[in-house]
Chain A
Amino acid sequence: MRLLLIDDDPEILLVARLALEKFGGHEVDSASSAAEAIEAVRARAPDAIVLDVLLPDARGPELLGRLRREPGLAAVPVVFLTGKADDARVAELVSAGAAGVIGKPFDPLALAAEVERLVGDPGGP
């Protein structure tokens, strides 16, 4: 699966990218801001998006809306990464159209499988 990973934290970006590539065998593009994310999806449309809730230039749900308006991305599954994955937050994000929510900190070894489960991908490269 071709994934777009969006997080402004370089440490999270590195570990998540390696986790998704090495353990999941996915192709991963990354972006560290909303602006970069829009640019990235215009360059290459992803099969799914993994998105940090708090970005310097946008809130996650707002960026989700903007991404969905891009051509071909109306139905792209989006998984949120968040430091506060309590029930209320999860419900809010899911009602905003998220396929699922993964809390930080996460287990790098299990990240790929978790993303695949949430977006309904059978897994494998």
Chain B
Amino acid sequence: MEELKTWYREQLWARIDALEAAAAALSEGGMGEARGTIRRIAHSLRGSGGTYGFPRITEAAAGVEESADPELAERLEELVGILREVAMRGQPDQLGVLVIDDDPEIARILEHHLAGKNREVHVARSAEEAEQVLVNHDIALVVLDLVLPDTDGRNLLMRLRERPATASLPVIVLTVKGGTLAKSECFALGADEFFEKPFDPEAFATAVAAKLQRSQEMTEDSRRDVLTGLPNRAAFHEAFLRSKALADRQGTPLAIGFVDLDHFKRVNDMHGHAMGDEVLRRAARVIGGSLRQSDLLARWGGEEFVSLFPNTDSEGARRAMENASQRFREERFSIDGNVFTLTFSAGVAPVQADDSVEEAVARADYYLYLAKSTGRDRVVSESVDPPRLRKRVLIAEDDELVATLIRHRLTQEGFDVIHCGDGESVLGAIGENGSDPGLSLVILDVLLPEMDGFELLSRIRERRVMASVPVIVLTVMGSEEDIVRGLALGADDYVVKPFSPTELLARVHRLLKRQ
């Protein structure tokens, strides 16, 4: 069921795109058609969401389907928000607000004024506590009282401004100390706003909202990778320091992973840079979506990604990465009717006590190098030595359902599975003469679009490295001629549709044993 859920999550992106396009049309006055599209998609999501274990989708989709026209846009926005959340498998972005005040009464009142959707309010009673919060949380805004038990608030403000990470963090100073001196001094030290207690709650709320908005925009721009939407290298750097501090304090393990897409240059060369960009976006989505919720994936640069696994040893991280690798391998890319699949190599390493970001990355990069040099398409960590080779099976089948069933069953049995929907992509996956695709077995549907299975079979057999790889042909009932022809062309076995996956699996095992 987990596998199906992940598959469903991936399907959601197309729905999100369609709903957003319809929402745009709706706001431009294109009522009738857009409304129909929205209601139709909502109806379908209402049925499928709960079926796949996401009752919130069903609930929100029902809201859209049944809403009256005036509230349609609003309900739609809610639904798209939930879809994005489920698709990303994460929580909505919370904006952290830090209130630094030693008076519990005031802190409580501020918390009340500040609390709101998408805001997380932290309270610190001293400068020291404030520093702790800043290390451990993403803070978008600071509300600072000048009178603190351990230091003058102005000292803290000065310290914040000196550090690159907090130099541009919005700070609202709040104080009972009157006088213009304090005020001008605070502005000189870099405060963004100044409020004297008792303050006007409305003006305060407005200032907070404005600062948060600016902070959010800046954060989005400077910490997100524009192409993939993932955290960028700078954001990863910060996340690393936070996770490292937490791991050190709690004595929990922390692991790091380094990912590099295999043969990415070929994608750019063969299909153009637009396709290359699409591959990177999808890679970000698939890998990010298949790691666990607590893991973090960032774009390092080019076709490289880096990930953090809090509270996880390198074996656990390797497993999580294997899972992502499997999902990515199953992802199908298509351009101009050509379907192709891709793989990645990854290195996974434990983060050690006095590692800097660079040292930790270098360690993971070393295992990535081992993964690349032992044949790519694998995850290597110090716990996997030497890298084990999994048997790889290629399925040529244009029926998605049949392919999904076979792939599911073979994957469960520990095979690596490559799926191609037509002959051209099979030949692409096998590669040029002289290269070794490392296949252990091929399962071939004789009925494929364009190039039929027989022609494909003879072309496969022409490749020297493929000459002795076992091939099973899939035929339909009542086509004995096909079976004879397949066997004559060098197939090793045949299975007649409809078949049970168990039967097919038995044939696979038998053929591999014979090798």
Report which A residues bind B (CB closer than 8 A): 9-15, 17-18, 21, 27, 30, 54, 81, 83, 104-109
Q: Would you list which residues of chain B between 308 and 363 have a CB under 8 Å from chain A?
A: none
Closest to B1 in A: A108
Is there an interface contact between B4 and A105, defined as CB atoms closer than 8 Å? no
Q: Does B51 contact A (CB under 8 A)?
A: yes
Q: A4 → chain B, closest Cβ, in Å?
A: 13
Q: B479 → chain A, closest Cβ, in Å?
A: 14
Q: How far is the CA of A34 from the CA of B50 in the complex (A)?
A: 25
Q: Would you list which residues of chain B between 14 and 50 have a CB under 8 Å from chain A?
A: 43-44, 46-50
Is there an interface contact between B4 and A9, defined as CB atoms closer than 8 Å? no
A105-B50, A106-B51 known; 15 new pairs, CB 8 Å cut-off, are A9-B44, A11-B11, A12-B48, A14-B404, A15-B4, A18-B4, A83-B43, A83-B47, A104-B48, A104-B50, A105-B49, A105-B58, A108-B1, A108-B51, A108-B52
Is there an interface contact between A105 and B401, defined as CB atoms closer than 8 Å? no
Q: Does B405 contact A (CB under 8 A)?
A: yes
Q: How far is the CA of A42 from the CA of B113 in the complex (A)?
A: 68
Choose from B51, B58, B405 the contact partner of A15 (Cβ within 8 Å). Answer: B51
Chain B contact surface mostly: helix
Report which B residues bind A (CB closer than 8 A): 1, 4, 7-8, 11, 43-44, 46-52, 55, 58, 400-401, 404-405, 498
Q: How far is the CA of A11 from the CA of B9 in the complex (A)?
A: 10
Is there an interface contact between B401 and A30, defined as CB atoms closer than 8 Å? yes
Q: A46 → chain B, closest Cβ, in Å?
A: 13
Closest to A82 in B: B47
Question: Which residues of B have CB within 8 Å of A30?
Answer: 401
Q: A82 → chain B, closest Cβ, in Å?
A: 8
Question: Which residues of B have CB within 8 Å of A54?
Answer: 43
Question: Which residues of A have CB within 8 Å of B46?
Answer: 83, 104-105
Q: How far is the CA of A109 from the CA of B51 in the complex (A)?
A: 10
Is there an interface contact between B48 and A9, defined as CB atoms closer than 8 Å? yes
Q: How far is the CA of A29 from the CA of B68 in the complex (A)?
A: 38
Question: Which residues of B have CB within 8 Å of A104?
Answer: 46-48, 50-51
Q: How far is the CA of A54 from the CA of B405 in the complex (A)?
A: 27
Is there an interface contact between B47 and A105, defined as CB atoms closer than 8 Å? yes
Q: How far is the CA of A120 from the CA of B55 in the complex (A)?
A: 30
12 contacts between A and B (CB under 8 A): A11-B44, A12-B51, A14-B400, A15-B48, A15-B51, A15-B52, A17-B401, A104-B48, A105-B47, A105-B52, A108-B4, A108-B52
What are the 7 A-B residue pairs with the smallest beta carbon separation, nearest first? A105-B50, A104-B47, A105-B51, A11-B48, A9-B44, A83-B47, A105-B58
Tell whether A12 pairs with B401 under 8 Å between CB atoms, given A18-B4, A27-B498, A108-B1.
no
Tally inter-chain residue pairs, CB-CB below 8 A.
Answer: 59
Is there an interface contact between A14 and B401, defined as CB atoms closer than 8 Å? yes
Closest to A104 in B: B47
Q: How far is the CA of A18 from the CA of B55 in the complex (A)?
A: 20
Q: How far is the CA of A67 from the CA of B48 in the complex (A)?
A: 25
Is there an interface contact between A9 and B401, defined as CB atoms closer than 8 Å? no
Closest to B49 in A: A105
Q: How far is the CA of A75 from the CA of B24 in the complex (A)?
A: 48
Is there an interface contact between B47 and A21, defined as CB atoms closer than 8 Å? no
Closest to A2 in B: B498
Q: How far is the CA of A27 from the CA of B402 in the complex (A)?
A: 12
Q: B498 → chain A, closest Cβ, in Å?
A: 6
Closest to B12 in A: A11
Q: B45 → chain A, closest Cβ, in Å?
A: 9
Q: How far is the CA of A66 from the CA of B50 in the complex (A)?
A: 31
Closest to B477 in A: A44
Q: How far is the CA of A21 from the CA of B49 in the complex (A)?
A: 21
Question: Which residues of A have CB within 8 Å of B405?
Answer: 18, 21
Q: How far is the CA of A9 from the CA of B43 in the complex (A)?
A: 10
Is there an interface contact between B401 and A11, defined as CB atoms closer than 8 Å? no
Closest to B11 in A: A11
Q: B117 → chain A, closest Cβ, in Å?
A: 27
Q: B57 → chain A, closest Cβ, in Å?
A: 9
Q: B16 → chain A, closest Cβ, in Å?
A: 14
Q: How far is the CA of A71 from the CA of B140 in the complex (A)?
A: 70
